[in-house]
Amino acid sequence: MTNTSSPIRVTFERLAQFITASMAQLGLPSADAAVIGRLMAEADLQGSDGHGVIRLPQYARRIRAGGINVTPSIKVVQERPGMALLDGDNGMGHLVMQRAAEMAIEKARVCGVAWVGTQFSNHAGPASLYARMPMAQNMIGLYFAVGNANHLPPWGGLDMLLSTNPIAVALPAGEEPPVVLDMATTVAAYGKVKAKAQRGEMMPLGWMIDRLGQPLTDPKRAEEGFLMPIGGYKGYGLALIVGLLAGTLNGAAMGSEVIDFNHDDTSVTNTGQSILAIDLSAFGDVDAFKARVDRLVRELRDSERMPGVERIWLPGEQSHDRRAHYEREGIPLAPALMAQLDKVALELGVPTLLTT
Amino acid sequence: MTNTSSPIRVTFERLAQFITASMAQLGLPSADAAVIGRLMAEADLQGSDGHGVIRLPQYARRIRAGGINVTPSIKVVQERPGMALLDGDNGMGHLVMQRAAEMAIEKARVCGVAWVGTQFSNHAGPASLYARMPMAQNMIGLYFAVGNANHLPPWGGLDMLLSTNPIAVALPAGEEPPVVLDMATTVAAYGKVKAKAQRGEMMPLGWMIDRLGQPLTDPKRAEEGFLMPIGGYKGYGLALIVGLLAGTLNGAAMGSEVIDFNHDDTSVTNTGQSILAIDLSAFGDVDAFKARVDRLVRELRDSERMPGVERIWLPGEQSHDRRAHYEREGIPLAPALMAQLDKVALELGVPTLLTT
């Protein structure tokens, strides 16, 4: 018997297996199901819990409604030595982006940098998942994506024509954890609003405003307002630019073309993403670069703190610690989520997550 | 006689000539002086008045103190088909970045995208100047730079180890003005604080805090506090990432290595910048891309406005309008700046700006 309020812990391997089995039951080829299983479990492992297995019920619903192609033919539609544009054929975003990241890495080895964009992709989980991929090859990764629901109006406007379009950048260090920034261009991501609503908590001032421009702090009223961009018009500008680089450039949906995948399970989303890989060895000695990052990281961490501040964090450091912790202790899943996943397991006829 | 409180207007050509003559008198080869003259005047023309001719007295002081190499040998120190790293030999940043932008454009024509970084460069004016350069070749430009003075501590910290490290992105449209974002990663750029001090005005809440984390609104006390990053820890993360991509990656100064060029005229700044050019033709039909940007721009501009909002602006649109206005009416220069420029003219023995 498990305590209903404390989270249940599962290993990364078990979580990946469970997702893989579910995806296979949904009709995906087993190799593709396994890629998605590992990437989604990886999201939970690094603490991106709004973008990991929590999305499985929605993905399953969408696949069963015919909104995602389970046997896509992902193909290169444009190519030059340092770039490619992939047509994801409406496949799962994880598969399309995994392929895009691989191509960017391969091309960056030759050109020094390479950019791969996607069209007809889908939601692919947390941005940092893909920005991190080039790091294993001693490369920097940058990732831009068009979000799958518009929650942001232009600055001064009321029509939600923009998504929280995330940016992620990952740079390897030497002895220190990598520097990984993964941020929505809004003060809070919409997932955080949903989490507040689930927990029955109010939101801090500055997360959302209503249609009169007044602060909105009750997450249950979220549909009556919209997210605030970071730095006011600057965050609006960033969200727009990210959308242009990940959507418009790739011939993918942007602005009013974006399908709200929370409320529409069947329309092709034509999601766009872009990844840039930068090969460190093209710029000089890789170890010297990593040593410079280490020095900078330590300089920031060890610098003088404001009264009351216990520690200065580097971007990605908390996620790095969480990963180590979850690898040891297991990944925590809230009981409410567990119940949803049991339901998915039952529907698909796969063993539940806690079946051993 | 001119009214001492209203600005004096000069043409772009006259301003460029004046700067060119000043630079030539400071020892720069005439072709280099002309490049700097045009780029600095261009900054004023687009309304980036904190980064145009207002910097001339400082540049002149620095050059005469030996802090800038007036006859640099700018060379490629690393190269691959899609990237290069330039050593600016401590030349004027405008020259180094002009060369970097040209190389990025040339390489992007072949590879689809190309990245050129600089080391041993110097302050180069407004970020958008360089992000805009690829647009004339139907390319998108992205520019990252390490600022030349640290005004930002890490989030929760007191040591100003980061600069306002700007990001600029420029994308061409069809019939609409280009979309050009040029933003410091702080709520306000330091130049805006200086401008408030000059005008004797107070700063809005949120621009700066003091060492106890309390709001600082008196710009004359600016040295007692620091700028606030946009979106709190997110802006800190962005400033850091931009610094890593423009400084650390290029072997240029970052963190405590950054020379405060407002207080030090002689130390080599080893300024780092990076530019990325993306060739639109690699991604498909250029006119189709521009038509998509036009559609998006109009959709945003024509969308419903919040009560009291007169117009929804696109990033770069106000600057675009200002450019057209200044081309017709002349570039306004404040009398106080004019007096400083007259002093520079006298010292260098060049005709003053208003000499015809």
The answer to whether B7-64+317-356 and B72-186+229-282 have equal CATH topology is no
Length of chain A: 356
- Phi then psi for residue B341, to 5 deg, are -70, -35
**Nearest CA-CA partner of A96 in A104, B265, A322:** A104
CA distance A53 to A19: 7
The rounded percent of chain A whose pLDDT value lies above 90 is 86
Q: Could you count the other beta carbons within 10 Å of the beta carbon of residue B322?
A: 16
Mean predicted confidence (pLDDT) in B15-21: 98
Please give the average per-residue pLDDT across A29-51, as a whole number. 96
Q: Do A278 and B240 touch (CB under 8 A)?
A: no
Indicate the residue of B282, B289, B296 with minimum beta-carbon distance to A80: B282
Indicate the pLDDT class of residue B1, thresholds 50, 70 and 90: very low
Handedness of CA A236, A240, A243, A245 (dihedral sign): negative
B299 contacts in A (CB within 8 Å)? Answer: 161, 255-256
**Higher pLDDT, residue B193 or A170:** A170
In order of A77, B39, B167, B276, B317, the CA distances from B182 in angstroms are: 32, 16, 6, 15, 12
Output the CA angle A151-A154-A160, nearest 5 degrees. Answer: 30
CATH of domain A7-64+317-356: 1.10.1530.10
A229 close to A152: Cβ distance less than 8 angstroms? yes
Query: Chain A within 8 Å of B318 (Cβ-Cβ)?
Result: no
Name the band, by pLDDT with cuts 50, 70 and 90, for residue A199: confident
Cα–Cα dist A197/B40, whole Å = 51
Mutate to test the interface with B, among A78, A107, A113 (most CBs of B within 10 A): A113
Written as one string, the DSSP assignment of B64-107 is: HTT-S-SS---EEEEEETTEEEEE-TT--HHHHHHHHHHHHHHH
Which CATH code is given to the segment(s) A72-186+229-290? Answer: 3.30.1370.60
B205 touches chain A (CB under 8 A): no
Quote the mean pLDDT of chain A. 95
The CB density around residue A61, as the number of other CB atoms within 10 Å, is: 13
Give me the residue from B81, B211, B230 closest to A81, CB to CB.
B81
Q: Is A261 in contact with A148 (CB distance < 8 Å)?
A: yes
Nearest to B318 by CA among A287, A155, A43: A155
Options 2.20.25.10, 3.30.1370.60, 3.40.50.720, 3.50.50.60; CATH of B72-186+229-282: 3.30.1370.60
> From the CA of A52, how many Å to the nearest CA of chain B?
22
Cα–Cα distance measured from residue B66 to residue B84, given in angstroms and rounded to the nearest whole number: 28
Give the Cα separation of A236 and A248 in Å (integer).
16
Indicate left, alpha or beta for A294 from its phi (over 0: left) and psi (-120 to 50: alpha). alpha
Q: Answer for the pair B170, B180: CB distance below 8 angstroms, yes or no.
A: yes
Segment A138-162 shows an average pLDDT of: 95
pLDDT digits (tens, 9 = 90+) for A12-31: 999 999 999 999 999 999 99
Dist CA A161 CA A153 (whole Å)? 5
pLDDT for residue B2: 44
Residue of A283, A315, A24, A147 lying closest to B155 (CA atoms)? A315
DSSP annotation of A168: E
Residues B14 and B353 sit within 8 Å (Cβ to Cβ): yes
Which sequence spans correspond to the domains of chain A? 7-64+317-356, 72-186+229-290
ipTM of the complex: 0.96
Q: What percent of chain A has pLDDT over 70?
A: 98
| Residue matched to tokens 């700046």 | B337
What are the φ and ψ backbone dihedral angles of B204, each rounded to 5 degrees? -65, 160
Q: Does B256 touch chain A (CB under 8 A)?
A: yes
State the CB neighbour count (10 A cutoff) for residue A25. 17
CB pairs under 8 A between A and B: 249
Q: What confidence tens digit (pLDDT) does each residue in B238-293 have?
A: 999 999 999 999 999 999 999 999 899 999 999 999 999 999 999 999 999 999 99
**How far apart, in whole angstroms, are the C-alpha atoms of residue B34 and residue B18?**
10
Looking at the whole model, is its pTM more than 0.90?
yes
The C-alpha atoms of residue B183 and residue A289 are separated, in whole angstroms, by 27
Most confident of B180-189, B193-202, B275-284: B275-284
Selected residue with higher pLDDT from A288 and B50: A288
Find out whether B173 and B290 touch, Cβ atoms under 8 Å: yes
Per-residue pLDDT, averaged over A229-255, amounts to 96
**Which chain B residues are within 8 Å of A309, Cβ to Cβ?**
156-157
- Residue B4's pLDDT is 54
C-alpha span between A93 and A51 (Å, rounded):
12
Min Cα separation A4/chain B (Å): 34
Which candidate, A278, A273, A116, places its Cα nearest to that of B144?
A278
A residues 73-102 lying closer than 8 A (beta carbon) to B: 78-83, 85
* Residue among B241, B125, B119, B132 at smallest CA distance from B178: B132
Residue A171 near chain B (CB below 8 Å): yes
- DSSP state, residue A18: H
Q: Is B333 exposed, middle or buried (0-12, 13-18, 19+ CB in 10 A)?
A: buried
Judged against a pLDDT cut of 90, whether residue A2 lies above it is answered with no
Closest Cα to residue A77, out of A67, A66, A88, A63? A88
Closest-CA distance of chain A to residue B313, Å: 8
What tokens does A106 get? 């391969």
Extract the tokens encoding B337. 């700046």
Looking at residue A355, its pLDDT comes to: 85
In chain A, positions 138-157, which contact chain B (CB-CB < 8 Å)?
Answer: 140, 153-157
User: What pLDDT is attached to residue A4?
Assistant: 54
Residue A188 phi, psi (nearest 5): -130, 145
| Minimum Cα–Cα distance from B313: chain A residue | A155
Interface of A with B in 11-70 (CB under 8 A): none
Written as six digits, the tokens of A151 are: 């929650």
- What is the residue whose two structure tokens read 């002081």? B61
**Partner residue opposite B289 with nearest CB, options A211, A249, A309:** A249
The mean of the pLDDT values for chain B is 95
Is the predicted pLDDT of residue A276 greater than 50, yes or no?
yes
- Of all residues in chain B, the percent with pLDDT exceeding 90 is 87
- Asked whether residue B3 carries a pLDDT value surpassing 70, the answer given is no
Task: Please report the pLDDT score of residue A313 as a whole number.
Answer: 98
> Is B113's CB within 8 Å of A283's CB?
no
> A308: which 2 tokens?
């009351």
* pLDDT-derived band at B95, boundaries 50, 70, 90: very high
- Kindly report, residue by residue over B219-243, the tens digit of the pLDDT: 999 989 988 999 889 999 999 999 9
pLDDT at B148 over 90: yes
Number of CB atoms found within 10 A of residue B53's CB: 27
Whether the CB of B302 is below 8 Å from some CB of chain A: the reply is no
Give A186-195 pLDDT, tens digit per residue. Answer: 988 887 888 8
Chain B residue with the nearest C-alpha to that of A302? B157
Confidence of residue A1 (pLDDT cuts 50, 70, 90): very low
Q: Is residue B115 within 8 Å of B147, Cβ to Cβ?
A: no
Torsion of CA B48, B53, B57, B60, to 10 degrees: 110
Distant-in-sequence, close-in-space partners of A208: CB < 8 Å, separation ≥ 6: A188, A193, A215, A216, A217, A222, A225, A226, A227, A228
- With CB atoms and an 8 Å threshold, state whether A248 touches B306: no
